[in-house]
A and B are shown apart, each in its own frame.
Chain A
Amino acid sequence: MALLEVNNLDVRFALRQGEVHALRDICFSLERGERLGIVGESGAGKSVAAFSLLNLIAKPGFIAGGTVTFDGQVLNRMSERGLRKVRGNRVSMIFQDPMMTLNPVLSIGEQMVECLKAHRRISSKEARAIALDKLQQVQIPSPETRLDQYPHELSGGMRQRIIIAIALLLDPDIIIADEPTTALDVTIQAEIMALLLDLCEQHNVGLILITHDLGVVSQVTQRMLVMYAGRVIEQGPTREIINDPQHPYTQGLINALPQMATPGEKLNQIRGSMPSLSNLPSGCAFHPRCDFINRADGQPRPACTQQVPEFVESGNCRVACHMVAEMLEDRRLKEETS
């Protein structure tokens, strides 16, 4: 059994307009030391997915169904007390804004020592030694002095390094990183991503990287999920998806990148925009923006507008698309007849 298993996770928000389905049928697993990317645009539900893994969804949101199993324990049925033992200790989180995690009135050292002492029975001196060691691991210049500095005295890149050090503090099994480098400059982003990758490999830590940046995902992760309007629409090994995307949305997303087009030419845009979760189109949520809702013979495919697509296995990937399903079926029939 995998270290982390998510089955049919279903998250809803009770809003005044009614209940909104933020996540539906999310299934994936993460092995020890594996790096998984969750990709999607804003509103796709990728951050909700990250938060729901540790049952951190704030009201009015709630987990309406499904299970998150970590190391044999079902997290979403655990008591708050039991969850606290997992959070921070065995699974830690890194947020986009370091100031969300850092307390502005405590020094870096105090925060790290406090975090250690909350989970382990050790002296302050030992805790400080561990904190120093972690700061050295994230390659912060002059770590000794950083321990006594306050968050506002550090630059954005430095703060994100500290956050990584804090995430590593209790030697977790999994780090969940929610857009960890979005607020940073490209050169700093490259440094931080390289650091995160090295540390995960060194310590055999699993990584769930949530981002909108396909470039980052392709460089860091081994497997990826693509999300659209609260659902996973494609999942599989990162290289295969990047090199040969099957779902029309994934294709569109990759082809829309400026680096995929000839300079000066028109970019391959996806028309329209992501529907709001409270008003999803019928059938496949992507169909109003999809170029493939017609069959090869030009006839419309009714399933696209009427039926929510199921996952089909295509090679090592799983894709939720009627068009792909149809193609696979055709191929199978052809092979049978020949």
Chain B
Amino acid sequence: MSTTTNVPPSRWERLRDSYMWYSFKRDRTAQLCLAVFICMVIAAFASPLLAPTNPYDLSQIDIMSSELPPFWIDGADERYALGTDAQGRDLWSIVLYGTRVSLLIGFGAVILQALLGVTFGLMAGYLGGRVDTILMRLADIQLSFSTLMVAIVVGALVKATMGSAFYSQYAVMMLILIIGLAEWPQYARTVRASVLAEKNKEYVDAARVMGLRSKRIMFRHVLPNTMSPIFVISTVQIANAIISEAALSFLGLGMPETHPSLGSLIKSGFDYIQSGSWWITLIPGAVLVVLVLSINLLGDWLRDVMNPRLYKG
């Protein structure tokens, strides 16, 4: 107890004194990445306000002004700063809308993964025994299916039973479901590993001696102490989910072209690279790379900060 005052520090003071804040203040990369990431999130979710045109509104699309180049190239139209795509949509607008869809899917899928993975990992790690065996074998099986396989199976099933119109209408939901289902084992494994470490600590024994139920011990005592690895893995998983979405859309298993995401934009422009209209693919591609890179670098920083071997709370 180094402090002599009896006034406990507030949450804000704790944050200010924390190692996390200290390391953030000294890490230029992390600051830049957070700034870029926040800007992109704000821009994406404010796209109806920022975008000059609404790509979902067919009346605003002019097929005559298709394949216009961005402003720094001769022949650009001043109405379209980043040029237009093959259908004459304003690239700036569809990139904004597309980023929003990609982020939505990324976050949604990670929330689903986390819900499934944390619950299963917690149960497997804390309860052990048969529950552990069953859940972890399930995770192994799930991991041996790639995201692509899950997407093909789910896509085929939904399209066969509900029709492809239904599928494209609920494509965002479908992708969240697919990526969420395909990648929960990552969470489950991480959480299980740290639960196994926490479970043997004496505060868990103390809670058991007190007579608390397993459920309460799991969620009130063990879970909050496994949050650090969950945060770290979440950053990686968001980046992965965004890439998965792009990959699936590119392969035609994800978002339809009428409903732009970064992946479907890259796909729709891909055919025009040869004909010289490279910007239709490369601009959304660059946005994807910057987004994923900034998330991954933030994740690296977070991992360094929360590394329990370097950082002792």
User: Which residues of A are at the interface with B, using a C-beta cutoff of 8 A?
Assistant: 16, 273, 275-276, 278-279
- Chain A's closest residue to B19 (CB) is A16
Confirm or deny: B166 has a beta carbon within 8 angstroms of a beta carbon on chain A: no
Contact assessment for A278 and B2 in the assembled complex, using a CB-CB cutoff below 8 Å: yes
- Chain B's closest residue to A277 (CB) is B2
Contact assessment for B22 and A279 in the assembled complex, using a CB-CB cutoff below 8 Å: no
A-B contact pairs, 6 of them (CB 8 A): A16-B22, A273-B1, A275-B2, A276-B2, A278-B2, A279-B2
- The prevalent SS among residues of A at the interface is loop
- The prevalent SS among residues of B at the interface is loop
Closest Cβ–Cβ distance, residue B304 to chain A (whole Å): 15
Closest Cβ–Cβ distance, residue B17 to chain A (whole Å): 9
Within 8 Å CB of A16, what residues of B?
A: 22
Within 8 Å CB of B1, what residues of A?
A: 273
Tell me the bound Cα distance from A232 to B2 in angstroms: 22
- Chain B's closest residue to A281 (CB) is B4
What's the interface size class on B, roughly? under 10
Tell me the bound Cα distance from A90 to B22 in angstroms: 43
Interface residues in B1-52 (C-beta closer than 8 Å to A): 1-2, 22
- Chain A's closest residue to B26 (CB) is A16
Tell me the bound Cα distance from A18 to B1 in angstroms: 18
- Chain B's closest residue to A273 (CB) is B1
Tell me the bound Cα distance from A16 to B1 in angstroms: 18
Within 8 Å CB of A279, what residues of B?
A: 2
Tell me the bound Cα distance from A148 to B2 in angstroms: 50
Interface residues in B160-205 (C-beta closer than 8 Å to A): none
Within 8 Å CB of B22, what residues of A?
A: 16
Closest Cβ–Cβ distance, residue A278 to chain B (whole Å): 7
- Chain B's closest residue to A275 (CB) is B2
Tell me the bound Cα distance from A276 to B1 in angstroms: 8
Tell me the bound Cα distance from A275 to B2 in angstroms: 7
Going nearest first, the 6 A-B pairs with the smallest beta carbon separation are A279-B2, A276-B2, A16-B22, A278-B2, A275-B2, A273-B1
Closest Cβ–Cβ distance, residue B311 to chain A (whole Å): 12
Closest Cβ–Cβ distance, residue A31 to chain B (whole Å): 40
Closest Cβ–Cβ distance, residue B15 to chain A (whole Å): 15
Closest Cβ–Cβ distance, residue A273 to chain B (whole Å): 8
Within 8 Å CB of B2, what residues of A?
A: 275-276, 278-279
- Chain A's closest residue to B23 (CB) is A16
Closest Cβ–Cβ distance, residue B16 to chain A (whole Å): 13
Within 8 Å CB of A276, what residues of B?
A: 2
- Chain B's closest residue to A276 (CB) is B2
Closest Cβ–Cβ distance, residue B282 to chain A (whole Å): 43
Closest Cβ–Cβ distance, residue B173 to chain A (whole Å): 47
Tell me the bound Cα distance from A278 to B1 in angstroms: 11
Tell me the bound Cα distance from A336 to B22 in angstroms: 61
- Chain B's closest residue to A16 (CB) is B22
Within 8 Å CB of A273, what residues of B?
A: 1
Tell me the bound Cα distance from A276 to B2 in angstroms: 6
